[in-house]
Amino acid sequence: MKTRIITAIVLLIVILPCVIWGGLPFKALIGIVAGIAVFEMLSICNRPKAHIYLYPIVAIFVFYSLYFEKSLLISSEIIILYMIILMACSMFDEGMNFLRLCYYFTSGVLIAMGLHMLYQLRLTYGLEYILILALATFGTDTGAYFTGMCFGKHKLNPRLSPKKTIEGSIGGVFLGTVLSAGYGAYIQIEMPIIWLIIMCFILTMTSQIGDLTFSSMKRTFEVKDFSQILPGHGGILDRFDSILFNAMVFGILIHFITMVVA
């Protein structure tokens, strides 16, 4: 526990100033996270291990999506191109069966879209939107932890996460929605209040879906953590799985709400 707390404090000291300042520090931070995430995503593959040529392929897709896609949503063309390249590789790579092909594609797109959305949210919409996302995501985690610890009796999904409970999930949804919607209303975000509440409510649910999705990846390859780069926490993807998944959802929701309200 001591190691876990120390690591968390160091992460806050490094990450918070970059997020608050934005600009080049945030851009560099996102780039570092992207590089580590790609490495972790491929390094958990075993029996057989991912071939070395896949690292630059996935990295190019992730970094291009991150820095060269200027709109809020990544264009479908680059995602389709990434899929075609992986399919072509599978024709010559005996270790890339259909399950492995699906993993390379799905995890690569999740990482690319999540990081792209985080970068665009900070660049285009500002720190306030990042805070709404953080409150919805981490508020859900906190609410689920304490509610589950006090009242949890019924397992949510024992196959993927034996400790998570339905009661904890409900508590997480409640706290995450209250915190994020309350903050959004306080700063008078440019969005009808009913849409703000709906958006924050959805984010609390997708936060848990994202956590379980990345847990499913680890179960598939029979590993506990994506890496050990963060003592007490595992890897970058272990610590930021929910926020990456939720950033992707947040961007899609903002795009949708903007079209509906306009």
Q: What is the pLDDT of residue 156?
A: 86
Asked if 101 and 90 touch (Cβ cutoff 8 Å), the reply is yes
36 CA to centre of own chain: 14
Q: Cis link prior to 48 (omega < 30° from 0)?
A: yes
Question: Which tokens hold the place of 114?
Answer: 């999540």
Percent residues over pLDDT 90 in the chain: 69
Residue 174 has pLDDT above 70, yes or no: yes
Taking the CA atoms of 138, 166, 233 and 150 in sequence, report the sign of the dihedral they define: positive
pLDDT tens, position by position, 59-69: 999 999 999 98
pLDDT tens, position by position, 85-134: 999 999 999 889 999 999 999 999 999 999 999 999 998 889 999 999 99
pLDDT-derived band at 169, boundaries 50, 70, 90: very high
Q: What is the pLDDT of residue 73?
A: 85
* Long-range contacts, stretch 81-85, CB < 8 angstroms, 24+ apart: 82/108, 82/109, 85/57
Residue 1 has pLDDT above 70, yes or no: no
Distance CA 73, CA 65 (A): 9
Distance CA 241, CA 9 (A): 19
Residue 34 has pLDDT above 90, yes or no: yes
Average pLDDT of the chain to the nearest whole number: 92
Q: What's the mean pLDDT in 155-169?
A: 86
Q: What's the mean pLDDT in 147-176?
A: 88
> Which neighbouring-strand residues pair with 157?
161
194 to 98, 173, 250, 259: CA distances (angstroms)? 42, 16, 16, 15
Q: What is the pLDDT of residue 143?
A: 92
Indicate the burial class of 157 (C-beta count within 10 angstroms; 0-12, 13-18, 19 or more). middle
Q: What is the pLDDT of residue 153?
A: 83
Residue 112: closest CA among 86, 94, 139, 144: 86
Residue 149 has pLDDT above 90, yes or no: no
pLDDT tens, position by position, 242-257: 999 999 999 999 988 8
pLDDT tens, position by position, 175-216: 999 999 999 999 988 889 999 999 999 999 999 999 999 999
This prediction has a pTM of: 0.91
